[in-house]
Amino acid sequence: MPDELFKLLAASQRTLDKGFANLPPNPSPPLGKAASDILQKVATRLQDNYPYAHPLYAGQMLKPPHPIARAAYALALSVNPNNHALDGGRASSAMEIEAVAALAEMFHWPQHLGHLSSGGTFANLEALWVAGQLAPTEDGLPSAIAASDQAHYTHNRISGVLGLPFIAVPSDESGRMDLTILESLLATDKIGTVVVTLGTTAIGSVDPLDEIVALRKRYKFRIHVDAAYGGYFTLAANLALETRAAFDAISHADSIVIDPHKHGLQPYGCGCVLFRDPAVGRLYKHDSPYTYFSSRDLHLGEISLECSRAGASAVALWATQQLLPYAPGGTFALGLESGHTAALKLQKHLSESPYFLTPGFPPQLDIIFWAVRADTPDASSALAQRIFDEAAKRDLHLALAKLPVRFFPQNSWQNSHQIDPQTQITCLRSVLMKPEHLLWLDHLCQRLDAAAVAIFESIPR
């Protein structure tokens, strides 16, 4: 694959260079032995990483960029466009507008305002910044941002940066926002925006967006959908009915965040924020005459809190979308479906194991977590760490997550009735986001089982 990739890149580079052939020669700085030695050192130092691109890496949310994204990104770097203004990136800005439109179309928004960002954190900041200016206020005080206690921790931090109150809404036994508690909070008229997470970072839970949309008929609030992780699953055809219902309601949101650098096969960092009402662009209005001079058309910097942004990210995303369109039943969508199937199969395997405990609900997307069988949560946590280390010795790389014991059946430990449901337990966790994970699932299970056997056999009887 690398040889083919570099050949395609070299051919494309020659085509790009022809576009500037009329200019006087401007030789690049020479790269001699010193540069070669440095790059060899770089390559050697980069070996100090987990094998993120390999299916045996099934830990954190790390999905390798598609080869065409790598090539397009590298090609764009020879121009190094800046998508803050058309003066700094004419072609890449046009590609960004088209790429963002493809994302909006995936969510059934024919009209929208949006742009790419450095990632989900900044994209969410922009969405909540807009919400803070538009959401209703009570007694002159800013309305609160509400999100599930399983939502990404940055929502609380972002709210603090923006000077907005933040309310964490407890989640139910499946890790989704508790709607009874949410409604009681909405009745106080203190909440201006509800953040609905479609794919929480820890367990991949999907908040019931369809039911939250229904609540908006009785209460006045904005809906921001944080689909940084799970947004692309709107294309998947094998989701459970309640999960499907949540994704089908996305078009009713006021704003959406999605990260192409997660499931969108893009290099870091590439996030995206979308607004249903293009009129929110007025909130970004500013005067910067020294950057806008070559065109009267809209500059992306006029609708973004960020200034300099890598045009290469837009080029890479656009190229990937051309090769793998966002079509239900297409190659891209099938890759998402295979991850969900792999998660369901892994949970079934774990539920039949004498060593592991599975939660009382199936994975909604492609993230799965499980505990180790033990008499107490503390003992289970200690064993999870040991199995995590042992699996890594067998080239199976998982993740760890601290989660409440209430996600597991009540009789999971001795004297379970005396254990606070909010007690945290260290769980093993796997993100099966690579399409190849389904094909490699037997290998993963064999290595995981072998690691568990090795640890349990080492326990003194």
CA distance 111 to 460: 65
CA distance 125 to 133: 12
Q: Is the pLDDT of residue 289 over 70?
A: no
Q: What is the pLDDT of residue 286?
A: 60
Q: Is the pLDDT of residue 291 over 50?
A: no
Residue type, 68: I
Q: What is the pLDDT of residue 281?
A: 86
The domains located in the chain, with CATH, are: 90-323 (3.40.640.10), 331-457 (3.90.1150.170)
Q: What is the pLDDT of residue 284?
A: 82
| Mean pLDDT, residues 393-412 | 94
With beta carbons less than 8 A apart as the criterion, state whether 331 and 125 touch.
no
Residue 361 has which token pair? 């609900």
pLDDT digits (tens, 9 = 90+) for 90-117: 999 999 999 999 999 999 999 999 999 9
Burial of 60 (0-12, 13-18, 19+ CB in 10 A): middle
Sequence-ordered strand ranges (E) for 354-423: 356-357, 367-372, 399-404
Residue type, 377: P
Q: What is the pTM of this model?
A: 0.94
CA distance 411 to 388: 24
* Model confidence band, residue 138 (pLDDT cutoffs 50, 70, 90): low
Find tokens 């997660």 and name the residue: 262
pLDDT digits (tens, 9 = 90+) for 51-91: 999 999 999 999 999 999 999 999 999 999 988 888 889 99
| Mean pLDDT, residues 214-219 | 95
Q: Is the pLDDT of residue 374 over 90?
A: yes
CA distance 380 to 405: 11
Q: Is the pLDDT of residue 186 over 70?
A: yes
Residue 12 has which token pair? 């494309």
The pLDDT > 90 percentage for the chain reads: 80
* Model confidence band, residue 120 (pLDDT cutoffs 50, 70, 90): very high
Burial of 332 (0-12, 13-18, 19+ CB in 10 A): buried
pLDDT digits (tens, 9 = 90+) for 5-14: 889 999 999 9
| Mean pLDDT, residues 160-173 | 95
